[in-house]
A and B are shown apart, each in its own frame.
Chain A
């Protein structure tokens, strides 16, 4: 990738790529802070949305201690068990809505063809779209976890720090999934239901709010086939000392292999679909 700077000189490909990523990041940051109400609600809504779930939990486990959870996985501390899944759930939702949905948003505001005509690789643009949302997600998750801690009594086990490295393969898997998903938006156009349903299903089937052990057999088989389930299970078993779903070394191998496979597959799928869209000339069609 080469581009021409303000003085008419060619910039190196790496500099041009980082310039494009920076430009997309700044564009999204400016869009976000331009609507102060959205900014306020992005912090308030996760706290409000969680209230019904919180009341349901305390109706079963008044002090956060669940005999039922203990019978499933060997720990009764639901207030420690849940936050790990919540963080993973947030990342899943963010990637689907911001990486997958980014192209739909551009379609809606009539900018997709303009952006597509820019001398920037589409993949760089797609990744750039996710950078600001990831930065935003990190800040939001930290704030929301602090609020959950002091308002609801949820705590993350201290041992989570030693296991944060698991978020590296997890993010790679999610990026692969999100990039592949963005191509579906080019194919199917009406992405709202698609994003909503997929994000909900992935969050649900990976057990972000419950132990996967509660699933009926056929759902458990699907759940075990999704690498994100193993990321959550590894985080839970390594931080809370609970019984893992399958052998942890096998889970590590699944997560590592998926972290390599998913991004490559996502990029290949996206490029193939994008080429097809350009050939058919249907980028502008809603």
Chain B
């Protein structure tokens, strides 16, 4: 009886919310552009900036090679751009899902349903991950096919590597959703966070270019381990579990953050209910 109730209050709503978000998103034709064209065109600006700095025959790539540990700046930047985009879209779709509900005017209705409120965020995150996973793989395939991405590792290992970051993303988005329930407007926070991640995790440049203090902070963020893992597999090959320490750190911190996120979300839920902050903008 207990498990049935758990299914009805959490699992079923998670999939319902995910399916709802997938249907709403794919209803607009612009979704195709956003999901399949953007991952392909987005890395262009960084690749061409890199080419402008590297020169026609790689004359200016020496400093970059010393910092990044590879002269293949194109693969380095493509992987970084795609990961940045993956995180960014998940922040907008998953982290801001409750704020989007407010804008649509459906937040109050959903909030009063007899289901776990956590399911609203987990479902939106699931939809976001599902909608963005395939385009990322398509983009990697595209760049590998045109020869701009030197794909040494296998795509299966890349997919496995992407799965290791899911607990961290889920935990982070739960914390983030808790903030949006409490403070309502969080669009600016997304803008700031995505740039902070980009800088401290070295998504679009080699982390070694940062001052040592910032490098140390970056090394503590699971996303830094994730981008290193994906870059290593793509550029140098090998398997995910060759990097056991990084995988353990990603999964461990991800599970801990997910638990923390769920607790934070529940505390905020109680707080906004008792202080009457559920409705209104």
User: Which of A's residues lie within 8 Å of B, judged by CB?
Assistant: 37, 41, 45, 48-49, 51-53, 55-62, 66-72, 78, 188, 190, 192-194, 197, 200-201, 203-204, 207, 209-211, 214-215
Q: CB-CB < 8 A to B191: which residues of A?
A: 41, 45
A70 to B192, CA, bound (A): 34
Q: Any chain A CB within 8 A of the CB of B242?
A: no
How many Å from the CB of B73 to the closest CB on chain A?
A: 8
Q: Are B61 and A68 in contact (CB under 8 A)?
A: yes
How many Å from the CB of A281 to the closest CB on chain B?
A: 22
Q: Are B53 and A68 in contact (CB under 8 A)?
A: yes
Q: Are A69 and B210 in contact (CB under 8 A)?
A: no
A212 nearest CB neighbor, chain B only: B48
Q: Any chain A CB within 8 A of the CB of B41?
A: yes
Q: CB-CB < 8 A to B63: which residues of A?
A: 59-62
Q: Are B44 and A204 in contact (CB under 8 A)?
A: yes
Q: Any chain A CB within 8 A of the CB of B198?
A: yes
Q: Any chain A CB within 8 A of the CB of B152?
A: no
Q: Are A190 and B28 in contact (CB under 8 A)?
A: yes
User: Which of B's residues lie within 8 Å of A, judged by CB?
Assistant: 28-31, 33-34, 37-38, 41-42, 44-46, 48-61, 63-64, 67-68, 73, 77, 188, 191-192, 195, 198-199, 203-206, 209-210
Q: CB-CB < 8 A to A52: which residues of B?
A: 195, 198-199, 203-205
Instruction: Supply 11 A–B pairs (Cβ within 8 Å), ascending by A.
Output: A37-B188, A56-B49, A56-B50, A56-B205, A59-B63, A60-B61, A68-B59, A70-B55, A71-B59, A203-B45, A209-B52
A190 to B28, CA, bound (A): 8
Q: Are B37 and A209 in contact (CB under 8 A)?
A: no
| B contacts with A: majority SS | helix
Q: Are A200 and B45 in contact (CB under 8 A)?
A: yes
Q: Are A59 and B56 in contact (CB under 8 A)?
A: no
Q: Are B45 and A71 in contact (CB under 8 A)?
A: no
Given contacts A51-B199, A59-B67, contact A211 B52 (CB under 8 A): yes
Q: Are B60 and A67 in contact (CB under 8 A)?
A: yes
Q: Are B30 and A60 in contact (CB under 8 A)?
A: no
Given contacts A59-B63, A193-B34, A204-B44, contact A71 B49 (CB under 8 A): no
A204 to B42, CA, bound (A): 10
Partner of B55, one of A71, A201, A207: A71
Q: Are A59 and B54 in contact (CB under 8 A)?
A: no
Q: CB-CB < 8 A to B53: which residues of A?
A: 57, 60-61, 66, 68-69, 78
A78 to B64, CA, bound (A): 15
Q: CB-CB < 8 A to B58: which residues of A?
A: 68
Q: Are B199 and A55 in contact (CB under 8 A)?
A: yes
Q: CB-CB < 8 A to B192: which residues of A?
A: 45, 48
A209 to B77, CA, bound (A): 15
Q: CB-CB < 8 A to B61: which residues of A?
A: 60, 68
9 pairs of A and B residues whose beta carbons are closest in the complex = A68-B60, A68-B55, A210-B52, A60-B53, A193-B30, A71-B55, A56-B205, A214-B51, A67-B60
Q: CB-CB < 8 A to A69: which residues of B?
A: 52-53, 55, 60
Given contacts A192-B30, A204-B44, contact A56 B52 (CB under 8 A): no
Q: CB-CB < 8 A to A203: which residues of B?
A: 45
A188 to B29, CA, bound (A): 10
A193 to B36, CA, bound (A): 12
Partner of B37, one of A49, A68, A71, A197: A197
Q: Which of B57, B77, B188 is the most central at the interface, judged by chain A CB atoms within 10 Å of its CB?
A: B188
A70 to B38, CA, bound (A): 31
A70 to B37, CA, bound (A): 32
Q: Are A204 and B48 in contact (CB under 8 A)?
A: yes
Q: CB-CB < 8 A to B46: which residues of A?
A: 56
